Amino acid sequence: MSLYLSFKEILRYKGRFFLFSLVIALITILVLFISGLAEGLANANREYLSKLDGELLVFQSNVKLSTLSSRLDSSTLQKVKRIPGVADVGPVGLSSATLVFEDNREDVDISLIGVEPEKPGGAPAREGSNLRLKSANETVIDGNLARSSDLEVGDTITVKSIQGTEEEYYDLEVIGISDGRQYFFQPSIFVSMEVWEKIRSQAAAGGENNPIAYNILVSRLQPGADPEAVASEIESQIDDIEVSDIETAYKATPGYAAQQSTLNTQRGFTLLIGILVIGGFFQIQTLQKIPNIGMLKAIGTGNLTVGMAVVMQILMVTVFGVVLGTLATLGLAALMPAGIPILFTPLTTLAAMLSLTIIGPLGGLLSVYLAVKVEPLMALGLSQ
C-alpha cells in the first residue's frame, strides 16, 4: 500500500519530482567528482608505492618515512636479505628529471626511479620486456606517460637532469611499458640502479663515482611470513633503519593526509548540504500534504503505511537522482581531457552512491516524523 501511494504520487507530480531528482543528480555529480578527485590525487601520489611487489619498505631511521630523505647503503641491503622470512629485497632510488622531445611535444616532468632488474621495486612491463641489464641505457616507462606522450616500445627518449649546475641529456631506449605507476604526481620511468645513479640530478657533477645510496629497500616476504614479525626482526637486527608496510608509507608522504582530509571535508559538507536540501524539500512536501494525510488516517490508513510511503518516495526520488547523477558523471569523466587527476574506481563510486542514497532517508526523517504525527482528527477540523 505504501509503495502504491508513493508511486502514484510521484507519477502524478512527475515534473516536480523529476526536477528534484535533478537537484539530487547535481549533488551526486559534485560528490562523485570530489571523490574522484580525492582518489585521483591520492593515486597520483601513491600509485607507484601501492603497486609495489613487496610487503615491507625499509627506510633510514629518523626521516619520518620520507622516501626522498632516506639514504641506505648496500650493506643494509645485504643485511635485510639475511633476515628470516625475507624472500627477496630490491633497492629503489627516487629522483625527478625531465623528459624532453625534439619535436613540438611538451617537456614532461617525470619520477626517475632506479631499480635492480628482476628485484622487488621495479615495474613489470605490460608491453615489451622488463629491465634485464644493469648498465644498459634502457627504460621501462609508465603507461600514463606512454599514453600522454605517445611513446611506444623501441622509441628513444631523452632525459634531462642537472649535474652540478649543468643540464645533461641522456638517451634511453624504451624496452617496456608498465601499467600506471605515478609517483609524486609525475609519471615514472624505470632504469637500472647504475643508470639511475649516472643520470639522476646531483649537486656535484661526477657523482657516479661515489658508492650508490638507495632511498628505500623493498622487501618481499616468504609465503606465510608475518609482516609485523619480520618488520620487528629487521628493526632489531639492523641499526638506524625503520620498517613500514606500504600503506603506512604512502600515508606518510608529505601532504597526502592533509590533501585527503581537505577533500574528505569537502565531500562531507556536500553530503551535509544534500541532507539539508532533501530534508527541506520533503518537509515542505509533507507540510503541504498534512490535510490529505489526516484524511488518509481518518479512513483507516495506519502510521506504518503513511510513514513507509514517505520513506519509499524519498528512496525512489533519491535513487533515481543518484543513478542519473552517476551516469552524468561517468559521461562527463569520459569527455574530460587527460591529465586531470580524477579517478573513478568501482569501490569509491559505489561508496559515494551508497552514502548519497543513505542521506535521502536521513534528510527525510523529519518528514516521516511529521507525517506520522498528523492527527486523523484534522480531517474533521479538530485537533487534540
Partner 1 sequence: MNTIVETKSVTKIYETSEMKVQAVDQASIQVEAGEFAALVGPSGSGKTTMLAMLAALLAPSAGEVIIDGHDLGKMSDNQRVQFRRERIGFTFQANNLVPYLSVSENVDLMLRLNGIFTPANRQRSRELLERLGLGERLNNMPNQLSGGQKQRVAIARSLIHNPSLVLADEPTANLDTERAFQAVELFSNLIHEQNKAGIMVTHDLRMVRYVDKVIQMMDGQVVRIIDDPEEICTMAGVPVTPTLPAYKAAYSPTLN
Return residues touching partner 1 (CB under 8 A): 1, 4-5, 8-9, 11-13, 291-292, 294-303, 376-377, 379-382, 384
> Given the complex with partner 1, which of 2 and 329 has the nearer CB atom?
2
Are 90 and 54 contacting, i.e. CB atoms less than 8 angstroms apart? Answer: yes
> Given the complex with partner 1, which of 17 and 190 has the nearer CB atom?
17
What whole-number distance in Å separates Cα of residue 26 and Cα of residue 83?
55
What whole-number distance in Å separates Cα of residue 92 and Cα of residue 369?
60
Least separation, in Å, of the C-beta of 256 and partner 1?
52
How deeply is 208 buried, as exposed, middle or buried, from its count of CB atoms within 10 A (0-12, 13-18, 19+)?
middle
Least separation, in Å, of the C-beta of 377 and partner 1?
5
Closest Cα partner for 157 from 170, 166, 168, 144? 170
Residue partners of 293: CB distance under 8 A and separation at least 6: 286, 306, 371, 374
> Given the complex with partner 1, which of 153 and 379 has the nearer CB atom?
379
Least separation, in Å, of the C-beta of 364 and partner 1?
18
> Given the complex with partner 1, which of 359 and 378 has the nearer CB atom?
378
What whole-number distance in Å separates Cα of residue 200 and Cα of residue 136?
15
> Given the complex with partner 1, which of 38 and 312 has the nearer CB atom?
312
Least separation, in Å, of the C-beta of 4 and partner 1?
7
**SS3 assignment for 259-294:** HHHHHHHHHHHHHHHHHHHHHHHHHHHHHHHHHHHH
Least separation, in Å, of the C-beta of 188 and partner 1?
60
Least separation, in Å, of the C-beta of 309 and partner 1?
11
User: In the numeric block, which cell numbers belong to residue 373?
Assistant: 504525527
> Given the complex with partner 1, which of 358 and 377 has the nearer CB atom?
377
